[in-house]
């Protein structure tokens, strides 16, 4: 989640849109990139997420929920 939160475009898309719209934006790519960056640190989990599209989709939904719930800490312009 922390890696995704660094992407202000994605955070703004999450905060300004409902879940279905935000999931059609840049969030999926941001989560994929975060998983790739995590490969060395959390290798096995990252490999599972990258192999299985359903796992990655579920993970993306969780990231959306976490960012949405914690929107106060990083809304661009606040």
Residue-number span of the structural domain to which 28 is assigned: 2-69
| Contact predicate 34/3, CB 8 Å | yes
- Dump pLDDT digits (tens) for 14-61: 999 999 999 999 999 999 998 888 877 777 777 888 899 999 999 899
Residue 11 lies in a domain: yes
What gap in Å lies between CA 12 and CA 72, rounded to an integer? 12
Residue 76 lies in a domain: no
Residue 28 lies in a domain: yes
Residue 39 lies in a domain: yes
Q: Into how many domains does the chain fold?
A: 1
Residue 74 lies in a domain: no
Residue 78 lies in a domain: no
Integer CA distances (angstroms), 57 to 42, 53, 74, 77, 78, in order: 18, 6, 23, 29, 30
Residue 27 lies in a domain: yes
Residue 8 lies in a domain: yes
pLDDT tier, 78 (very low <50, low <70, confident <90, very high otherwise): very low
């Amino acid at each position: 989640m922390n890696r995704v939160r660094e992407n202000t475009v994605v955070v703004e898309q999450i905060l300004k849109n409902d879940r279905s719209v935000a999931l059609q934006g840049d969030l999926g790519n941001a989560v994929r990139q975060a998983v790739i960056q995590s490969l060395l640190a959390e290798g096995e989990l990252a490999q599972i997420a990258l192999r299985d599209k359903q796992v990655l989709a579920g993970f993306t939904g969780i990231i959306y929920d976490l960012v949405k719930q914690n929107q106060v800490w990083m809304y661009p312009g606040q």
